[in-house]
């Protein structure tokens, strides 16, 4: 006879990234605890998104027909950090849908964390809709920390209206095969958006980042900074497209992807694009892939910093530019600490490991 | 007295180009040596080889430091053993703060000596004390290592780092280059405060003016990869007056 043992869900995963004053919610295998879970209107696949020239050619990480009707709804409260922790428990495929709705002007902060428990092969496909209404400001941090067998495909569909401000930082500490696709539409005048990402990879990991950012109104500003540190046999692929539509005069758009290759066998591919239909714009893009600087390394070693420690300092420094973008101080410190531990090859399971760091 | 450093017939090259062609040099604790020479005479190569820069290959000769074969030691081991190189062009490390950089270095030194790491408060106390040696503003500690520093600030940062690590053998590679008179005086004062009977300094320079502030016991002229003349401090004035032509 098989023995069953009941383990309450809240015993399975303890998040100790304890952010004082935060509203904290869990989502277990796609099902939320304490947050609304209800039917939502169909996904916005309006013509505006389709300005992108690549749109048709791209394969969606999540097929549009598969997007569930029921969505986890996150309505952030002004002045209170909302932390939602997605935990994978049973090794079935999860098709998820999440809606972050900032439908009133104000300043909002949301942290989404995704984790796996145990060493099973988890597959997660989700659509994350983010709406930032006129005059609203959203600071969203997405932290991904999963096991090396996990497959996680996220399709972010972001809409920022007039005079809104949006910042998204995606920190991928660890995972097996990740695909983050972001489609961001700046639909109203003077919308601002910062999309940043940091991905740390080793072993056989693979991380794809695919961005389509559409400036569809005048005087919008966008900044993108995506950085990757790759070791082992890991792979990363960055595809980024910024589209400036004919009406989007006085656009400012900047995009950068920098990769640090720590091992001989790691590979980074980077493919930034600008598609500009307006004539009065400031846009730039660039990408780099390189290894650690020998001069810096020698300088540090000449001060008595061992080679391995010097390499970690360099990698931390490389990551710092993205981490600095996390506005909330406590969260930034904890993420920096997790990144450091990850670079040292230590345990980054942030659940009660007793290291006192997070 | 036992030699601190003994260089015998040192030959070194970068790529295919031989730069040092048989350098001999003996340094004892408590001494200040000046090495003068033209651009390309091998001054910076000598300091790079002493610090363990792997861009240079030693093809012949030996370097003995406190009885040990220096050439077998890694750059960090040399640092732990008390060697310090003040860089002619200090390296910028964006993203690594000065405080994080030096605290890591100081604590690695302590770990090698079997000492516990300094607490944040202990480190700050030591840092402020040593920054005062070179009249450096403590706000520099939160900035990226040498990032956006002026020429003078970079050199002061080198001397500050030297003060933090209290080396036994400090090699200052053209620390005077790019300094105005005030900065030169500050840097030189910092060096003079660190002088003891236990440690030694090698000051590498083109000009005499630094040697007005840091007075050497011995002056060497390096010419085409060899030390061609060694004398007392009066040699510096002679070089300044007549140039290097007489060593042709």
Whole-angstrom CA distances from B232 to B207, B211, B217 are 16, 12, 6
CB burial of B21-56 (b: ≥16 within 10 Å; e: otherwise) equals: bebebebebebbbbbbbbeebbbbbbbbbbbbbeeb
Q: Do β-strands B144-145 and B93-97 pair in parallel, antiparallel, or remain unpaired?
A: antiparallel
- pLDDT tens figures, A261-293: 999 999 999 999 899 999 999 999 999 998 888
- pLDDT tens figures, B114-160: 999 999 999 999 999 999 988 999 889 989 999 999 998 999 999 99
When scoring B74, B90, B103, B104 by the number of chain A Cβ atoms within 10 A, the one with the most, hence best to mutate, is B104
Look at B96 and A295 and tell me if their CB atoms are within 8 Å: no
Distance in angstroms (rounded) separating the CA atoms of residues B70 and A263: 30
Residue B164 is inside which H or E element, if any? helix B151-165
Contacts of B102 in chain A (CB under 8 A): 303
Nearest to B80 among A299, A304, A321 (CB): A304
SS3 A20: coil
- Terminal CA-CA length for chain A: 41
Distance in angstroms (rounded) separating the CA atoms of residues B142 and B145: 9
Contacts of A298 in chain B (CB under 8 A): 51, 53-54, 75, 91
Look at A309 and B102 and tell me if their CB atoms are within 8 Å: no
Distance in angstroms (rounded) separating the CA atoms of residues A201 and B80: 33
Residue A50: per-residue pLDDT: 52
Residue A57 CB-half CA count within 13 A:
8
**Residue A53 confidence (pLDDT) above 60:** no
Contacts of B104 in chain A (CB under 8 A): 305, 309, 313
Q: Which residue has the higher pLDDT, B225 or A61?
A: B225
Find the closest chain A residue to B88 by CA distance: A299
Predicted ipTM of the assembly: 0.96
Neighbours of A39 (CB within 10 A): 8
**Residue A189 confidence (pLDDT) above 70:** yes
Residue with tokens 């500009």: A276
Q: In the structure, what pLDDT confidence band is assigned to residue A56 with cuts at 50, 70 and 90?
A: very low
The structural domain count of chain B equals 1
Residue A154 CB-half CA count within 13 A:
28
Angle A259-A260-A261 from CA coordinates, rounded to 5°: 115
Q: What is the mean pLDDT of residues B196-215?
A: 92
Q: Where are the domains of chain A?
A: 17-293
- pLDDT tens figures, B70-88: 999 999 999 999 999 999 9
Residue A4: per-residue pLDDT: 56
Residue with tokens 């077998």: B72
Find out whether A309 and B104 touch, Cβ atoms under 8 Å: yes
Q: In the structure, what pLDDT confidence band is assigned to residue A132 with cuts at 50, 70 and 90?
A: very high
Residue A41: per-residue pLDDT: 84
Interface size A-B, in CB pairs within 8 Å, comes to 73
Backbone angles phi, psi at A102, to 5 degrees: -105, 90
Host domain of residue B143: 5-247
- pLDDT tens figures, A319-335: 999 999 999 888 998 89
**Residue A46 confidence (pLDDT) above 80:** no
Residue A193: per-residue pLDDT: 96
**Residue A2 confidence (pLDDT) above 80:** no
Look at A318 and B95 and tell me if their CB atoms are within 8 Å: yes
Residue A15: per-residue pLDDT: 65
Distance in angstroms (rounded) separating the CA atoms of residues A349 and A12: 13
Q: Tell me what the pLDDT averaged over chain A comes to.
A: 87
Neighbours of A25 (CB within 10 A): 16
- Choose the weakest-confidence range: A148-152, A292-296, B17-21: A292-296
Residue with tokens 């910042």: A167
Find out whether A138 and A110 touch, Cβ atoms under 8 Å: yes
> Can you give A266-320 as a three-state secondary structure string?
CEEEEEEEEEECCCCEEEEEEEEEECCCHHHHHHHHHCCCCHHHHHHHHHHHHHH
What percent of chain B clears pLDDT 70, i.e. is strictly above it?
Answer: 100
Look at B93 and A299 and tell me if their CB atoms are within 8 Å: yes
Look at B95 and A295 and tell me if their CB atoms are within 8 Å: no
| CATH for B146 | 3.40.50.300
Backbone angles phi, psi at B138, to 5 degrees: -55, -20
Q: Tell me what the pLDDT averaged over chain B comes to.
A: 93
Tell me the angle at which helices A307-323 and A294-302 cross, rounded to the nearest 10 degrees. 120
């Amino acid at each position: 006879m098989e023995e069953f043992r009941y383990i309450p869900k809240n015993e399975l995963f303890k998040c100790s990234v304890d952010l004082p004053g935060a509203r904290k919610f869990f989502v277990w295998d796609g099902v939320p605890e304490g947050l609304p879970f209800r039917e939502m209107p169909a996904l916005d696949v309006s013509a505006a998104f389709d300005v992108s020239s690549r749109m048709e050619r791209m394969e969606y990480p999540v097929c549009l027909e598969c997007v569930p009707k029921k969505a986890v709804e996150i309505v952030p409260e002004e002045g209170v950090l909302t932390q939602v922790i997605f935990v994978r428990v049973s090794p079935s495929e999860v098709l998820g849908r999440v809606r972050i709705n900032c439908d009133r002007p104000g300043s909002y902060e949301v942290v989404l964390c995704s984790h796996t428990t145990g060493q099973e092969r988890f597959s997660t496909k989700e659509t994350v809709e983010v709406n930032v209404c006129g005059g609203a400001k959203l600071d969203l941090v997405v932290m991904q920390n999963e096991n090396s067998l996990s497959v996680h495909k996220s399709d972010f569909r972001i809409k920022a209206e007039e005079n809104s401000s949006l910042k998204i930082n995606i920190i991928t500490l660890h995972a097996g095969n990740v695909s983050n696709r972001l489609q961001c539409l700046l639909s109203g005048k003077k919308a601002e958006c910062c999309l940043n990402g940091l991905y740390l990879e080793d072993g056989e990991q693979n991380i794809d980042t695919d961005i389509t950012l559409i400036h569809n109104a005048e005087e919008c500003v966008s900044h993108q900074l995506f950085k990757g540190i790759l070791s082992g046999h890991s792979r990363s692929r960055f595809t980024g497209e910024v589209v400036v539509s004919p009406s989007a005069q006085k656009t400012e758009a900047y995009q950068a992807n920098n990769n640090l290759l720590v091992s001989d066998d790691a590979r980074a591919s980077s493919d930034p694009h600008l598609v500009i239909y307006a004539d009065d714009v400031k846009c730039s893009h660039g990408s780099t892939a390189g290894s650690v600087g020998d001069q810096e390394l020698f300088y540090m070693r000449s001060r008595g910093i061992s080679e391995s420690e010097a390499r970690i300092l360099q990698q931390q420094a490389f990551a710092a530019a993205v981490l600095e973008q996390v506005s909330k101080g406590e969260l930034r410190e904890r993420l920096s600490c997790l990144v450091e531990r990850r670079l040292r090859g230590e345990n980054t399971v942030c659940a009660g490991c007793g290291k006192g760091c997070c | 007295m036992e030699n601190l450093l003994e260089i015998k017939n040192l030959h070194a090259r970068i790529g295919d180009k031989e730069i040092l062609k048989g350098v001999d040099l003996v340094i004892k604790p408590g001494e200040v040596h000046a090495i003068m020479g033209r651009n390309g005479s091998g001054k910076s190569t000598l300091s790079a080889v002493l610090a363990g820069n792997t861009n240079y290959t030693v093809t012949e000769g030996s370097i003995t430091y406190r009885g040990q074969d220096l050439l077998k030691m890694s750059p960090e081991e040399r640092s732990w053993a008390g060697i310090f190189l003040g860089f002619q062009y200090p390296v910028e490390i964006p993203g690594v703060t000065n405080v994080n950089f030096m605290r890591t270095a100081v604590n690695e030194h302590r770990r090698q000596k079997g000492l516990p790491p300094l607490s944040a408060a202990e480190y700050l106390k030591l840092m402020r004390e040593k920054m005062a040696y070179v009249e450096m503003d403590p706000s520099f500690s939160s900035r990226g290592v040498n990032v956006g520093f002026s020429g003078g600030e970079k050199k002061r940062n080198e001397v500050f780092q030297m003060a933090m690590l209290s080396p036994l053998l400090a090699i200052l590679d053209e620390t005077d280059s790019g300094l105005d008179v005030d900065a030169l005086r500050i840097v030189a004062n910092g060096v003079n405060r660190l002088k003891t009977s236990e440690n030694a300094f090698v000051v590498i320079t083109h000009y005499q003016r630094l040697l007005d502030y840091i007075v050497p016991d011995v002056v060497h002229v390096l010419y085409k990869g060899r030390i061609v003349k060694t004398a007392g401090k009066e040699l510096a004035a002679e070089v300044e007056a007549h140039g290097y032509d007489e060593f042709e």
